[in-house]
Amino acid sequence: MAKSKAKILVVDDNNGIRAALGLLLPMHFAQVELIPSPKELVSRLADFRPDVVLLDMNFHTDINTGNEGLFWLSEIKKRNPDIEVVLFTAYADIQLAVEGMKRGAFDFIVKPWDNEKLIDILKASYANRSKEAREASAMPASSVRMYWGNGSAMTAIRRTVEKISLTDASVLITGENGTGKDVLAGEIHRRSDRALKPMVCVDAGALTETLFESELFGHVKGAFTDAHADHIGKFEQANGGTLFLDEIGNIPLHLQAKLLRAIQNRSIVRVGGTEAIPIDIRLICATNKNLEQMVKDGEFREDLYYRINTMHLHLPALRERTDEIVPLAEIFIEKYAEKYRRPVAGLSSEAEEALKGQYWSGNIRELQNCIEKAVILSDGNTLEVQDLEFPQMKAAEETTPTSSVDTLENAEERAIRAAMDRFGGNLSMVAKLLNISRPTLYAKLKKYDI
């Protein structure tokens, strides 16, 4: 069999591993170089110009956490996003490897490795070289599409969006974290007459007081110590298009007046400047807070509230849209199966029931993260219950304690009974939900006479 033309760089501080790979890899690849320390990595990237880097996740330092591997993965991708990285990891660090794939690694392989699988993964990474970088650079932000589903709440929101998108009415989107407020804002922009103009997104709550005016309104050269050149703010960047202010409920009260002034006047003045610059924007804001209550409590300006709230759209939590959980999961499976080159095509019926029974405190974002991890770790064609990693759930949150002073045993019994009710006595899913083994579950069922 002809050798692959790939140039492979191995970074591993274990002498025995480097020796073994030094014998194996040259039989399959045109050029192989092995280095013991990531400190040599930057120079070797420049001199050797590898196609693929096989990077150990853990180096023998005082604190062996795998974070050093993630750091060097980021350094490789920062210097040359076309280089594919395959992570070398111990079984105990698989979760770190999953995080590495989210940050751009092609795949991972667990030590001790299977020679054939290692060669296959390295060849596949070479064949895929630079594909993801090209796709990422070519993919516009507008590629994220709104999933509407068939539920009555989302159908009503969709009808409203169809009516208001072609207007310039200000829109306030509310909902819990992870419900897709930013995606809905993008959908309104795409349907509007401003779709060919930019949509500029700002995490309003993350702006410090010192940066607030400069980031939103811009500044002129010399306005302050580090103002070495004129700077165009977010309002001007969005001119003719849409300005999306996310987490507007986090803006301190004393800064809200400055935002209100710009919205009312439809003009801004750069920091250090004197010229009023007209702005033509469609304003969309979002928050997970109850602004109406904040107005009553004196924490949010009433006049600003009415300026941003011409139209109000509230996105319900995912647990209130259980009929949409499986279709959304299938969309994410298709997305991540393609991204991570996995053969996964769907969910087992047990996995579907487990997903529908989950509380999803993090909403669609949490579901997406759950499916992404499962696809990465799965080798089969179908995701099973055991592939799904759920956070600890408040399984008993729908029940009420019988007294103000509760015992751990009472809480445990209620949690088990609630889980049994939720999954109709399916012990595999109950054990998965409660994060205990089946034998442990059997013992507790007997203990509490369930």
* pLDDT attached to residue 202: 92
Q: Is the peptide bond before 252 cis (omega within 30 degrees of 0)?
A: no
Indicate the CATH number for domain 319-387. Answer: 1.10.8.60
pLDDT tens-digit map of 91-111? 667 788 888 888 888 888 888
What per-residue confidence (pLDDT) applies to 86? 93
Contact between 390 and 370 (Cβ < 8 Å): yes
CB count within 10 Å of CB 218 equals 23
Question: What CATH number has the domain spanning 4-137?
Answer: 3.40.50.2300
What is the chain's Cα-based Rg?
27
Structure tokens that stand for 306 in this block? 């009415």
| Residues 195-248 pLDDT 10s | 889 999 998 877 877 788 888 999 888 888 777 888 889 999 999 999 999 999
pTM of this prediction? Answer: 0.62
Q: What is the pLDDT of residue 60?
A: 57
With beta carbons less than 8 A apart as the criterion, state whether 254 and 299 touch. Answer: no
Q: Hunting for tokens 């989950």 — which residue is that?
A: 358
Please count the other Cβ atoms lying within 10 Å of the Cβ belonging to residue 124: 15
What pLDDT digit, counting tens, does each position of 32-88 carry? 999 998 888 888 888 888 999 999 987 755 444 556 788 889 888 888 888 899 998
Residues of each domain in the chain carrying CATH 3.40.50.300: 143-314
Q: Alpha carbon of 21 to those of 42, 87, 111, 248, 293: distances in Å? A: 21, 14, 12, 54, 64
Express each pLDDT in 396-414 by its tens digit: 344 334 333 345 667 677 7
- At the top level of CATH, the class of 143-314 is alpha beta
Domain with CATH 3.40.50.2300 in the chain: 4-137
Q: Rounded to a whole number, what is the largest CA-CA distance in the chain?
A: 77
